[in-house]
């Protein structure tokens, strides 16, 4: 939630104004100054009111300084990362992101697994001085802080080359665009995490702990769809903005959505078919397998969210982000209401259904609101066909044939064959384009 608030929609606003402005340096400079100022304000206020921040974040007050610094460092790289994406530099973007994960993971392994043994075997050594018993939480936070610090150092270029001119008129326009994106981001966070909160609040404690544990474990299998949707959105969002001023950009938007639906349908069916194989790798505790019934529902919900992000291009390129806020708040209300009504009766299944209903309604609402305001010639029949067949085969494989791997594999191969037959020409064009 704090990451969303500290970004306050400025990343999306940056894409929009950077792509359509002739004075791109002023857009960069104004965005950097805005994020710098808001981040410094957040740091000062948080450090002055440390106890209040600790209660708000539900963490030990002695850790609050570290957490504030981590949140601030992460906020300061929002515009530099957006600048990389806007300038179509995916390799550097990916390298820095991966390096952040590697540093974080590597330091955690060192502090938590290697350092205790090193200190025990050589108590007078230099590294032993770093070891503190019962310091595990601090080590985890320090690892995160180091990773965020290195990331900022690697992303300093926009700060170093900026001429630091602030255009207040431009900033007001950007904020008018960004604030609804912030509201949408907060609503999205509610959709993502509020189901766990309500499970804990509406069920008896001993039942709630078990339900949340099972639900969290099995939801991990939706990570495949989430990663695909996120990677697709990260790559394609700058394209949406940069091509908004070209002749007939709607045709390109429609084609991109077709690609997403085809690939997403394959991933949906593939994960559902091989769910019993994947659960052994990702859900280590067999006691949690009881909640596997939510996997197809959460996968489909994540797929709907991905389609929604593609459909949302209409209000982003027409500067009508207030519609995005409205749609996201509507989805959040569905999440809250459905969870509140049905959790006492069906537990975590209510949370899965609520997520599906929220993202499904957001997808449909965005499509119908966009039809009259920014018509995009989506191939509706193709989208419904691939989505329908993938869902049908998923139901057959998972629920009707009870996850029979042979039946599921046959259905998956049939679907792949169908995709190849119908998309052969498109696949050939893409292959030849890449080859050339």
Min mean pLDDT across 51-60, 249-258, 288-297, 345-354 is at: 51-60
Q: Residue 54: is it exposed, middle or buried by C-beta count within 10 angstroms (0-12/13-18/19+)?
A: middle
Greatest mean pLDDT range, 161-165, 187-191, 238-242, 335-339: 335-339
Residue 436: pLDDT above 70?
no
Quote the CA–CA distance of 159 and 168 in Å, as a whole number.
19
Average pLDDT, integer, range 231-256:
85
Residue 435: pLDDT above 60?
no
Q: What is the pLDDT, as a whole number, of residue 342?
A: 94
296 neighbors 395 (Cβ within 8 angstroms): yes
Taking Cα atoms as reference points, which of 20, 4, 7 lies closest to residue 316? 20
Quote the CA–CA distance of 333 and 307 in Å, as a whole number.
20
Binned at pLDDT 50, 70 and 90, residue 59 comes out as confident
Residue 434: pLDDT above 70?
no
Domain ranges for the chain: 2-166, 177-435
Chain segment 213-243, per-residue pLDDT in tens: 899 888 889 899 999 998 888 888 888 888 8
Binned at pLDDT 50, 70 and 90, residue 429 comes out as low
- Pick the more confident residue, 60 or 158: 158
Q: What is the average pLDDT score of the chain?
A: 89
- Pick the more confident residue, 119 or 428: 119
- To 5 degrees, how large is the angle CA 54–CA 57–CA 60? 45
257-286 burial, b if ≥16 CB within 10 A, otherwise e?
bbebbbbbbbbbbbbbbbbbebbeeebeee
HSE (side-chain half, CA atoms, 13 Å) at 411? 27
Residue 154: pLDDT above 90?
yes
Q: What is the pLDDT, as a whole number, of residue 246?
A: 80
Taking Cα atoms as reference points, which of 41, 44, 65, 43 lies closest to residue 54? 65
Residue 431: pLDDT above 70?
no
> Per-residue DSSP letters for 50-61?
HHHHHHHHTS-G
Q: What is the pLDDT, as a whole number, of residue 397?
A: 94
What percentage of the chain exceeds 90 in pLDDT? 58
Both tokens assigned to 145: 């802080």
Instruction: Give the position of tokens 């450090």.
Output: 47
Quote the CA–CA distance of 352 and 332 in Å, as a whole number.
14
The CA-to-CA distance between both ends of the chain, in Å, stands at 44
Min mean pLDDT across 54-58, 218-222, 227-231, 400-404 is at: 54-58
- Pick the more confident residue, 245 or 397: 397
Q: What is the pLDDT, as a whole number, of residue 408?
A: 94
CA distances from 152 to 1, 36, 71, 338 (A): 21, 13, 12, 41
Instruction: Give the position of tokens 């949707």.
Output: 229
Binned at pLDDT 50, 70 and 90, residue 261 comes out as very high
Q: What sign for the dihedral angle of Cα 169, 373, 261, 433?
A: negative
Taking Cα atoms as reference points, which of 33, 28, 35 lies closest to residue 14? 28
Binned at pLDDT 50, 70 and 90, residue 430 comes out as low
Taking Cα atoms as reference points, which of 321, 75, 68 lies closest to residue 185? 321
- Pick the more confident residue, 79 or 21: 79
């Amino acid at each position: 939630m704090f990451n969303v608030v500290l970004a306050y929609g400025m990343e999306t606003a940056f894409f929009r104004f950077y792509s359509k402005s002739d004075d791109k340096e002023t857009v960069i400079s104004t965005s950097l100054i805005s994020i710098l100022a808001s981040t410094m304000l957040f740091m000062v206020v948080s450090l002055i009111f440390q106890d209040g921040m600790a209660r708000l974040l539900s963490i030990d007050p002695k850790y609050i300084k570290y957490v504030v610094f981590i949140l601030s460092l992460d906020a300061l790289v929002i515009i530099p990362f957006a600048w990389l994406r806007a300038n179509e530099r995916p390799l550097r973007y990916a390298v820095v992101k991966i390096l952040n994960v590697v540093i974080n993971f590597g330091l955690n392994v060192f502090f938590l697994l290697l350092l205790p043994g090193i200190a025990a075997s050589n108590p007078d050594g230099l590294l032993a001085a770093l070891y503190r018993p019962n310091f595990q939480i601090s080590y985890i936070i320090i690892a995160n802080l180091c990773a965020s610090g290195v990331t900022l150092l690697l992303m300093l270029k926009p700060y170093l080359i900026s001429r630091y001119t602030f255009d207040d008129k431009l900033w007001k326009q950007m904020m008018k665009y960004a604030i609804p994106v912030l509201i949408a981001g907060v609503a999205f966070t509610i959709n993502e995490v509020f189901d766990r909160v309500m499970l804990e609040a509406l069920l008896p404690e001993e039942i709630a702990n078990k339900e949340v544990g099972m639900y969290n474990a099995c939801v991990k299998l939706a990570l495949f769809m989430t990663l695909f949707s996120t990677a697709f959105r990260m790559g394609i969002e700058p394209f949406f903005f940069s091509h908004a001023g070209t002749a007939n950009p709607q045709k390109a938007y429609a084609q991109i959505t077709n690609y997403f639906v085809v690939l997403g349908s394959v991933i949906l069916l593939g994960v559902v078919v091989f769910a019993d194989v994947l659960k052994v790798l990702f859900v280590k505790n067999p006691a949690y397998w009881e909640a596997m019934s939510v996997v197809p529902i959460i996968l489909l919900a994540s797929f709907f969210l991905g389609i929604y992000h593609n459909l949302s291009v209409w209000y982003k390129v027409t500067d009508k982000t207030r519609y995005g806020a409205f749609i996201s708040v509507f989805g959040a209300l569905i999440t809250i209401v459905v969870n509140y009504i049905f959790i006492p009766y069906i537990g975590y299944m209510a949370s899965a259904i609520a997520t599906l209903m929220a993202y499904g309604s957001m997808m449909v609402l965005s499509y119908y609101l966009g039809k009259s305001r920014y018509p995009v010639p989506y191939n509706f029949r193709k989208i419904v066909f691939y989505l329908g067949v993938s869902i049908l085969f998923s139901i057959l494989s998972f629920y009707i044939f009870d996850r029979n791997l042979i039946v599921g594999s046959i259905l998956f191969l049939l679907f792949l064959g169908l995709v190849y037959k119908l998309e052969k020409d498109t696949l050939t064009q893409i292959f030849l384009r890449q080859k050339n």
